[in-house]
Amino acid sequence: MIALQSLLTLSAVLFVIGVCGFITRRNVLIMFMSVELMLNAANLAMLAFARHNASMDPQVVAMFVMALAAAEVAVGLAIIVAVFRRRGTVNIDDLRNLKW
């Protein structure tokens, strides 16, 4: 039997790895991948609770999260491509025009 707590711990560890990657990496693509990792960790927690409470609604919400992630990745990668065309870099430290 799998404990609910071990599923939640797995989800928490994956989320924290995502946060850590988002803060420490300077490559926009890898920062994006960390965001995907965090979304997946949230989905995992949602599905664990769905199984635990024998309710299907969190599964539908997880499905919406996946659709949202697809939309986010499409727009985000398009922005990265546009920025790379103009500036020739994907390093976040070189893109600080808006930072004041």
Partner 1 sequence: MAEQIFFYFFAALSIVSAFLAVTRKNPVVSVVWLISCMFSLAVIYVILSAFFLAAVQVIVYAGAILMLFVFVIMMLNLKTGMVGQLRNLGLKFVGLIAALLILRQFYSAIKGAGAMTGLPPRAAAGFGEAAAVGKLLYSQYIYPLELMAVLLLVAIVGALVLAGKEQS
Cβ atoms of 50 and 4 within 8 Å: the answer is: no
CA atoms within 13 A on the CB side of 24: 6
Rounded to a whole number of angstroms, the minimum distance from the CB of residue 100 to partner 1 is 20
Mutual orientation of helices 28-53 and 57-87 as an angle, nearest 10°? 180
Contact between 87 and partner 1 per CB under 8 A: no
- The only residue of 64, 96, 97, 99 in contact with partner 1, by rule CB under 8 A: 64
Per-residue binding letters, 42-61, with partner 1 (x by CB under 8 A): -xx--xx-xxx-x-xx-xx-
CA distance 25 to 32: 10
CA distance 78 to 28: 12
Contact between 95 and partner 1 per CB under 8 A: no
Interface residue list for partner 1 (CB under 8 A): 1-10, 12-21, 23-27, 29-30, 32-34, 36-37, 40, 43-44, 47-48, 50-52, 54, 56-57, 59-60, 62-64, 66-75, 77-82, 84-85, 89-91, 93
